Chain A
């Protein structure tokens, strides 16, 4: 009964080659988040959608884009991955009332070669 599903769990991409990570949810939550987590660090919020409204964090590089075609799916596009983009990418959802937790997927581990 997985609620936030990320595919694939492991992704290897070439330096500079566009890559897309996928996330789906069965919770019907309004908010979907993308976080980047590097080794021994906290998850860092890249951006989030509140329904169809896209909210970018000020320090998120332009190299990172996102799409949310419907309530259930959200994608993270990395246009030109660099070695520094190797990380765990976490997708999460929340109801969107400001006083509820975020539910996380298991993450996608991205390797850039």
Chain B
């Protein structure tokens, strides 16, 4: 079935290093992708998004890359800090229409930053 999934369930990085979190998706019709950060006991928090007509988008310390050919996106976090420790989810919105406008999550990656 259609799904959004992740390659790595856990990731440990040294403080100050860069982190890369990967995500694969199967629905070629998806046209909008979002990365969320979720800290323990809280709701998911928006980090960055990218539309399907883009290959790359940068924010503050974060970059999202989209490869539509292989249906893959990644989240890069520069100079990872202890406050970045959380679970990261990629998600997709499958397009405007009453039944399609919904945000579907991938399985998540737990990022642990080692001081």
Contact = CB atoms under 8 A, between A and B. Distances in A.
Interface of A: 4, 31, 33, 35, 41-45, 48, 50-51, 53, 55, 90, 92, 94, 96-107, 109
B93 interface: yes
B69 interface: no
Contacts of B107: 41-42
A88 B27 CA distance: 27
Contact of B32 (A45, A55, A98, A106): A98
Interface in B27-42: 31-32, 34, 36, 41-42
A98 B93 contact: yes
Contacts of A109: 41
A52 B98 CA distance: 10
A102 B31 CA distance: 15
- Which range holds the interface residue count of chain B? 20 to 34
A101 B103 contact: yes
Given A101-B34, A103-B46, A55 B103 contact: no
A45 B104 contact: yes
Contact of A55 (B46, B49, B102): B102
B87 to A, nearest CB: 8
Contacts of A90: 43-44
Interface of B: 31-32, 34, 36, 41-46, 49, 51, 89, 91, 93-108
8 contacts: A31-B101, A44-B105, A48-B101, A50-B98, A50-B99, A94-B93, A99-B32, A107-B42
A12 to B, nearest CB: 16
B42 A106 contact: yes
Nearest to B110: A40
A88 B100 CA distance: 24
